Structure 1
Amino acid sequence: MRSLLDLRRVSVVKPKCFSFARRPLRYVNVTPAVPPCEPPQDQPPPLDQSLVKWVSSVLSNPSLDFTKCKEILTHLSPHQFDRVFCEINSSVNPKTLLGFFYFAAESCGYRFSVKSYCGLILLLLASNLNAPARLLLIKLIDGKVPSLFEKAFGDRHVEIAMAMVDLNVGLEKSVGVHICDMLVHLYCSQFKNDGFGLAFDVFRALAGRGAFPSSRTCNFLLSSLVKVGELQRGYEAFEIMRQGVVLDVYIFSTAINLFFKGGRVEDAIKLFMEMEKLGTSPNVVTYNNVIHGLCRSGDLVEALQFKSRMVEKGRMPNLVTYGALINGLVKCEKFDEANNMLREMSEKGFIANEIVYNSLIDGYCRVGKVEEALKIKDDMVSKGIRPNSSTFHSLLRGFCRNDMTEQAQVLLQDMLSRSFPVNIG
């Protein structure tokens, strides 16, 4: 219980009252991912108000009385506690209530409903007790606290999200956004090993009830899906975001990258044009995503046009821009243009890194121009950039393809002395 006592050092902001009535945080026209909860058929009997007042007095006290807590548990079932919590949440001490929950769950094996846990988490957030709220949410998601889940949902992750939304939060709107942010962030980070499908399902369920995370969190989710190659879920997530989130330059940039990665070049360009029409100015990352995508698809002419457009709009190309263009030119065997781009890059004050040099070296080796590749390698070393494993492998393949056995043997010994793995396949 020591961790519970430590909570008393945290200042508490008295929360406003919230109700357990089921009403969405914010409504938009999105097809629900899960069916809405049906209201109970039978009206429950009225609560014993003397019992309600007694529970309120115990849980509004700054200190936790464990004897009285045990007695409370003998009088209330989990669903009865839901109803009591609904009536007393404006008067309880959030830290005392948190201690009560942990004591009941860990020492008495009491199984609170998901709704009760979610109500407590929202109460903690409204009281600026963010760290305890986050920890409790992690334990709830991870099944580390005894809790009652409704079988109707079939998915406890979605049930947690729905319980958060179904609680009619009569607090600041920011609390609703905060809990959506926290949920999506946790599934994308703390629980990423369980797959990003969970994060997507929770996001879709929230959006189905009109509750959306902030633009920043939406971009975090979209970026995570793109990073792990969940492109189809990425497309769906972006379409949902379009219906309920104010799209900023970061979401647009990530979505453009998503479409290019999926080979949807025309859609990516259309989205770029759309963001400009909507008054969202592309930044350097946006242009780099477009240029990189066009280079990968072999459309160098349009990629170079976007570089010119970028400069006209006052966005200066950076190392990533030049690297993408040089790599694209090399793949199309336009070595003169690639070297000109390298010189321009140097004149602009950018120092080529090993990725740029390796692109040129590998390109020359693939077309049998090993001597040119060696010149690039020498230039690389003269600039203080050490060749890495990729550099040596490109050269080794070039030597082998051109029957330069002696040079290959010397290079192989050099690689082994540097403990580089050898793979010339």
Structure 2
Amino acid sequence: MAIQVLKQLSQTLRPKPWPLLFFSSSCSNDDSESLVTNVVTILTHHRSKSRWSNLRSACPNGIEPLEFSQITLHLKNKPQLALRFFLWTKSKSLCHHNLASYSSIIHLLARARLSSHAYQLMRTAIRTSYLTDDQNGRFASPPLKLFETLVKTYRDCGSAPFVFDLLIKACLDSRKVDPSIEIVRMLLSRGISPKVSTLNSLISGVCNSQGVDAGYAIYREFFRLDEEKNEISRRGCGLRVTPNVHTYNELMLCCYQDGLVERMEELWHEMSCNCKPNAYSFSVLMAFFCEEGRMGDAEKLWEEMRNEEIEPDVVSYNTIIGGFCKIGDVARAEEFFREMALAGVETTASTYEHLVKGYCSVGDVDSAVLVYKDMSRRDLKPDTSTIDLMVRLLCDKGRVQEALEFVRCAVSKFDLIPREKSYAALIRGLCFERSMEEALKLQAEMVGKGFQPNSEIYGAFIDGYIRQGNEEMAGALRKEMLQNETQS
């Protein structure tokens, strides 16, 4: 029904001129015409110091929205002045703006490529349209009401087509996905296509809000992949927009996140037929292979990327390094790490964290410590999960004091807050070494961070006091632990 509505609108976006202008009858009486003329004269000929006071005198009863639109039409070549005038009318409450007056200033700003200002006014117009009682529009949805008005005023304002791209972006950023889809459908029905980047953002928005299947269906619909070329020509749907590498990257990433293997490989094949993959494309597919432990397939893909003369980026290197570390082949990961340095690709915290976790997984704590120290020297902040892993491994190796110093340095340098697991491992290690006073201080710090002692912590202290020969304290802690369990 929405498409039929658009077809009934004036031939706004066609190359031939409109038979009826939207603003042609807006200022029919002499008083209104005189006000428009006076305001335009003041805006264009008066100095800025006297302009606004004179305007206030010229508009004692305010300005009607249609009068504002007429004034805006006279300021097509002065977009900044028109914007200041619009903001002035709002700040002084001189005009009760409606969608038509919003549309006129939005078109003018879009025509002047002042995209950010046009975008912000669209967001405001969508919110404002909820409060209006205008029943003349054909749509109930505020974004579609604004779209309808933008279409009607497009030709009079000499606007630019990407004004609709901005509207779609405003809808997506407001999480209004369904109106965005409807707007694109109506534009396509008139032979007008948004930019590929706009369609890509919309497809991604659909994937995130409605699932990959819905996003994939929209992808095929908007790029007309299921239509015959002769049918497109017969219907006069204009130029056919083709998906680019970013289209496929967005879809493959969503498939990867949802674990849709077959769909991802299908998209990879479609992309190879329509455009050249980039480094990110390879990284997404490699990430899936690495996640599944299929490092043979990941290396083949790496070689294919090299054969295509595509230079791996930091994401590519981090992906394959992480994959080899995950299966415990840290030596192979180190080879890619060295290659990364020789290629001049800057390492990130993720690069080092993969290696640290890889060495931890094979029990090589010394190598893990060396990699972490190199990471720290480069001021790359580790994730708390990496700290947890290092602490547990050091404590398991009986190097509790080293683990404690490791945590202190991480907290001091990176302002990290250790997790409960790190505190538990340290307290357990200190109690095993009968360093009860130090363990108690750490436990007090743990409580100060919001972690309450659990049965594991109680058990560590009880075991420590028994090792010390302090049965009385061990018994008191058993009693306290049982009371806490009963109360909980």
Same fold (TM over 0.5): yes
Within a 5 Å distance, the mapping from 1:4-153 to structure 2 comes to 22-23=10-11, 25=13, 48=28, 50=30, 53-54=33-34, 56-63=36-43, 65-70=55-60, 73=63, 81=66, 85=69, 90-91=73-74, 101-102=86-87, 105-108=90-93, 110-127=95-112, 133-143=118-128, 149-150=134-135, 153=139
What is the alpha-carbon distance in structure 2 between the residues aligned to residue 229 and residue 416 of structure 1? Answer: 42
What is the alpha-carbon distance in structure 2 between the residues aligned to residue 105 and residue 350 of structure 1? Answer: 51
Within a 5 Å distance, the mapping from 1:390-401 to structure 2 comes to 390-399=385-394
Structure with bigger RCO (C-alpha 8 Å, 6+ apart): 1
* 2:323 matches 1:304: no
Identity %: 18
- Partner of 1:197: helix, strand, or coil? coil
- Partner of 2:161: helix, strand, or coil? helix
Is the Cα–Cα contact under 8 Å of residues 234 and 258 in structure 1 kept in the other structure? no
What is the alpha-carbon distance in structure 2 between the residues aligned to residue 109 and residue 102 of structure 1? Answer: 10
TM-score by length of 1: 0.68
- Partner of 2:41: helix, strand, or coil? coil
The equivalent residue for 1:204 is 181
Larger % of helix: which?
Answer: 2
The equivalent residue for 1:161 is 147
Letter aligned with residue 403 of structure 2: L
Change (3 A) 1:49 1:385: closer
* 2:309 matches 1:329: no
- Which sections of structure 2, spanning at least 5 residues, go unmatched? 1-7, 16-24, 44-53, 225-239, 423-488
- Partner of 2:310: helix, strand, or coil? coil
Tell me the CA shift for residue 315 of structure 1: 0.8
- Partner of 1:182: helix, strand, or coil? helix
What is the alpha-carbon distance in structure 2 between the residues aligned to residue 128 and residue 359 of structure 1? Answer: 45
What is the alpha-carbon distance in structure 1 between the residues aligned to residue 85 and residue 400 of structure 2? Answer: 72
Is the Cα–Cα contact under 8 Å of residues 252 and 284 in structure 2 kept in the other structure? yes
Tell me the CA shift for residue 89 of structure 1: 6.6
- Partner of 1:421: helix, strand, or coil? coil
Aligned Cα root-mean-square deviation (Å): 4.2
- Partner of 2:175: helix, strand, or coil? helix
Change (3 A) 1:418 1:271: closer
Is the Cα–Cα contact under 8 Å of residues 62 and 94 in structure 2 kept in the other structure? no
The equivalent residue for 1:355 is 350
- Partner of 1:418: helix, strand, or coil? helix
Change (3 A) 1:202 1:61: farther
One of 359, 369, 372 as aligned partner of 1:377:
369
Change (3 A) 1:46 1:337: closer
Letter aligned with residue 223 of structure 2: R
Q: Which has the larger radius of gyration?
A: 2
Q: Over residues 312-361 of structure 1, what are the superposed CA-to-partner deviations in whole Å (9 max), with x where a residue is unaligned?
A: 11112233222211212232344454344445445555565442332233
Tell me the CA shift for residue 235 of structure 1: 4.5
One of 402, 408, 418 as aligned partner of 1:410:
402
- Count of residues in Structure 1 that have an aligned counterpart in Structure 2: 365
What is the alpha-carbon distance in structure 2 between the residues aligned to residue 375 and residue 268 of structure 1? Answer: 37
The equivalent residue for 1:30 is none
What is the alpha-carbon distance in structure 1 between the residues aligned to residue 311 and residue 115 of structure 2? Answer: 40
Q: Over residues 371-390 of structure 1, what are the superposed CA-to-partner deviations in whole Å (9 max), with x where a residue is unaligned?
A: x2422432553585468344
The equivalent residue for 2:313 is 318
Change (3 A) 1:262 1:346: same
